[in-house]
Amino acid sequence: MSRDDATARSRTSLPAQPAVPAPAAATARAAPAPAVDGHARHARPAAAPDDPAFERLLPAEPVACQLRLTPAAVKHGAILTGLAMLRRAGRIRLQVEWRPQDERPGQEASSRHEASRPLAILELEGGGSSVIDLDDDPGLQADELARHDLYFKRCFHAESLLLPDGHKLRPLPLLEDVRTDFLHLDELRGELAAANSACAKAGALARGVAQVVAARAGLGDRPNLSRMHAPPVTGQAQRVLAIWRLQDPEELPPEATGLRDACAAANRSRVQCIRALRRAYGSRFHGGILPDAFAARFAPDVLLASARNATRCELLRLTREHSVCVATSGPPGAGGLGIATFVAFSRAIVCEPLREIVAGDVQPGSHYLEYQTPEQCVARVAWLFDRPRERDEMARRNWTYYSQWQSAERLALRLVALTCAAGPRAVGMQRQSVPG
């Protein structure tokens, strides 16, 4: 029997997407050969890499890197953390430059740029530069796309690849906000740069030190790397978690009628899902809608009893205690990458269809089960409850994805390696064709 045949037979069939109400079987395919980079893979990629060895694109000696960003780029926590880890490991030399809030991290001003956009520029000594855009809006900064070798984007649509410089686009993997376990001076400088007075700077310094100390003791809400992931735990009890937030359509621009309608429809669907899960699973279900003024008016019967459930510390505890976690795809029009924490904690996942391109091999039926209606949501959870072996296999696949693509160090390594391959190197490397 060939290796591919053995692999295919060893995998148990997963439910077809999206069958209602009970999932039907679908034959699993054998894993393809290793790939270097997961560029341009949609939520249903045609191939899945087993060993994304993009680090082979780096030269043997440490690469000198400069990261320029504004304090608005708070979502770059994973980027900063990963680069700091690479510096500690001797893989790179790193300089971080924080620009004032009213300046862009690029070279020129642009009327299209918003000061609050989480945008950063990564430049390597000897050539090679990349934009890192973590904004939930799938729109691109066209001038930055034209100016730099690569454009890493948290959320973009497939049609963006057809733009004149669309070949430079690279998707980012699933992202979560993580910080170093040690006192990271570059991160602290960003907090100080955001403060607008000496008193505010002193307060930011004191908070930064206190948060690091508290997080190392397992207290507080700072997302220290060591507390933001966990390997699979087999044989967990049948418990399902779903804690979501609603969005008030009135907060969206009045002219965005389509987006407002989509937001209202998403709110209705998610409230119905919470009600259906409560009815179906009773004490095995924990969840509800996070309380705020809009949610209290819209769906008071499914509100969580206390805002305490919204703290990061509490959400992480609940995630560890539930073998199945249900995620949404985020607010309409924004990036739908809410499953990142569940992947990092090696959970079995039921999720709305992801709308955006994601680096790596995340795909429905393998890393999560899709649902589009409350009935489908209940049925997907039931399928995982009834099949502990398949549930554990999904958890292991999510841990593999986290280890290869999502962890802060692997995220930063990919950014540096692909940027290095895209530009001429002072060390005499020939310009390489960037994978993907």
Kindly give the interhelix angle for 77-88 and 185-194, rounded to the nearest 10 degrees: 150
Cβ pair 71, 190 in contact under 8 A: yes
Tens digit of pLDDT for each residue in 204-226? Answer: 677 777 777 776 776 777 888 88
Q: What is the mean pLDDT of the chain?
A: 79
- pTM score: 0.81
- Distance from the Cα of residue 389 to its chain's centroid: 26
Going 279 to 284 to 290 to 296, the CA torsion angle's sign is positive
Q: What is the mean pLDDT of residues 146-154?
A: 92
Q: Classify residue 363 by its DSSP letter.
A: -
Q: Where do the structural domains in the chain lie, given as residue ranges?
A: 55-221+408-422, 240-406
- Does 59 sit behind a cis peptide bond, omega within 30 degrees of 0 on the bond before it? no
Going 147 to 150 to 154 to 157, the CA torsion angle's sign is positive
| Residue 212 main-chain phi, psi, to 5 deg | -65, -45
Token pair 């740069």 in the structure block, residue: 193
Q: What is the mean pLDDT of residues 76-89?
A: 90
Q: Which of 79-93, 108-122, 370-384 has the lowest mean pLDDT?
A: 108-122
324 beta partners: 240, 348
pLDDT at 103 over 60: no
Tens digit of pLDDT for each residue in 162-204? Answer: 888 999 999 999 988 888 887 777 776 666 666 667 787 777 6
Cβ pair 166, 142 in contact under 8 A: no
- Residue 282 or 116, more confident: 282
Tens digit of pLDDT for each residue in 357-369? Answer: 889 988 899 999 9
User: Which option is the CATH number for 240-406: 3.40.50.2000, 2.20.28.120, 3.40.50.9100, 3.30.1360.10?
Assistant: 3.40.50.2000
Q: Which of 29-33, 238-242, 365-369 has the lowest mean pLDDT?
A: 29-33
Helix (H), strand (E) at residue 369 = strand 369-370
